[in-house]
Amino acid sequence: MNWREIYASKLKTPQEAVKIIHSGDTVLIGHAAAEPDGLVNAMVDYAVEQDLRDIHIVQQHDMGACKFFEPGLEKHFKYASLFIGARSRNYVAEGKGDFVPVFFNRIPDYVTNMDPAQVFLVTLSEPDEHGYCSYGLSCDFAKEAGERPGTKVIGAVNPNMPRVMGDNFIHVSNLEAIVESDEPIHEHGRPVIGEVEEKIGANIAELVQDGDCLQLGIGAIPDAVLKFLGNKKDLGIHSEMISDGLMDLYETGAITGKRKNIDKGRMVITFMMGTKELYDFVNDNPAICMKPVSYVNDPFIISQNDNVVSINSALQTDLMGQVCAETIGLKQYSAVGGQMDFVRGASASKGGRSIIAFGATTKGGTISKIVPFLTQGAAVTTSRNDVDYIVTEYGVAHLKGKSLRARARALINIAAPAFRDDLSVEFENRFGEAL
Ligand code: COA
């Protein structure tokens, strides 16, 4: 059969396609923008109708409707998140689901070693003239999960999913079933860039030099920073994710990738979250190269480029430079994602630097993000041994290689003025001298 005949032979309705799922199976959901709502809805309806039990749902960052979270479905689904998002946050906090801490570069290893009876529900682009569908905006673990022997991939082929180049394709012959869908692809709005973000962006721009190879993390600040880099030259991109800000920077001509040692001239990325404008920009764009996260986020691979600068954010930092980027106390807010992958990769890169940037306060200036001690229960995301630069709107603290005393001093200097007196009292208690 040629690929068009294969495609026709595998084409099903969502309701027919999900009939391969049984009680006790593991169902992996496509990551972020690749979450196929229609297929997930059909699975939930089928599980309820057939009274299937203990379907093990594994998901990374949720962006879709996640019908399996509806009340009363707990007996049908056991849920595990690898990166908490807006919908999974309370579900997990309420004890209805679980969270699994795992570095992003190890997630392919995690998902390919799960239960052998595995079904993967994922949104794909339409096939090209050779019968290859692109994993589109989420290559990350999808490529390895899709190629794992025994995994049954149900592809929601969607004309709205861009065809994104790189090592990012699956042939229709490797799909267990195909459903056609024209759902809009999940979008993530542009961040609001206020006065605080402007100042942080300007502070970070001072640390970025022509020819640097950038990674941008998740959250408002990493995306906002890009607005301030338009006067740089020959920047390279090797980044776990990108959002709309990257597209704007690319259009200024600041990104050429000329000085990269590997993947020269191409922006290497493993997933994207943004608006339709970004999705149109990456569609069939040879400047973009999507690769599995086991490559993009491998600290050894990252360090092959010189002058890697990683830019990530955090929720809290203590006076030793321990960074919490994923919990508020015991509540899991997000996850480590690729933060440590890139902090370590940047650290091993010749001339590399890692930056953690955040507004000095939150909740309308009432809570300082620089604190004497992390809140009880908080997870340390970037350890004090790994931390390099911390940036707020009040300046830059360079912590790497500095003593605990020097770190505390540098961090208090970039805390919000309203909290500096209290932090100085802690400094004096700890080091026996005034700040
Ligand atoms: N105490 C209490 N609440 C806090 C807080 C603190 N110390 N810090 C932040 N919050 C609250 C904020 O007020 C905000 O609440 P709201 O939604 O009710 O307004 C919420 O937590 C989010 O805070 P914000 O600072 O706006 O987060 P962000 O969207 O900029 O994301 C991280 C920041 C740290 C959560 C995000 O970067 C992340 O998940 N990082 C870890 C993963 C990572 O770095 N990956 C790297 C590659 S993708």
Residues 333-344 pLDDT 10s: 999 999 999 999
Phi, psi of 86 (to 5 degrees): -60, -40
Predicted confidence at residue 314, as pLDDT, reads 97
pLDDT at 219 over 80: no
Q: What number is the average pLDDT over the span 116-122?
A: 92
pTM reported for the whole predicted model: 0.97
Q: Which residues are identified as catalytic?
A: 240
Ligand 1 nearest atom to the CA of residue 241, by list position: 48
CB of 346 within 6 A of ligand 1: the answer is no
Predicted confidence at residue 301, as pLDDT, reads 98
pLDDT at 60 over 90: yes
Predicted confidence at residue 222, as pLDDT, reads 83
CB of 221 within 6 A of ligand 1: the answer is yes
Ligand 1 nearest atom to the CA of residue 333, by list position: 35
The mean-pLDDT minimum among 112-116, 203-207, 246-250, 332-336 falls in: 112-116
Predicted confidence at residue 116, as pLDDT, reads 80
What is the residue with the minimal CA distance to atom 11 of ligand 1? 362
**Residues in contact with 302: Cβ distance below 8 Å, sequence separation at least 6, in sequence order:** 215, 238, 296, 308, 341, 342, 344, 345, 346, 348, 349
What is the residue with the minimal CA distance to atom 23 of ligand 1? 315
pLDDT at 117 over 90: no
CB of 130 within 6 A of ligand 1: the answer is no
For 284-305, the pLDDT digits (tens) are: 999 999 999 999 999 999 999 9
Q: Give percent of the chain above pLDDT 70.
A: 100
Predicted confidence at residue 2, as pLDDT, reads 97
CB of 327 within 6 A of ligand 1: the answer is no
CA distance 329 to 50: 40
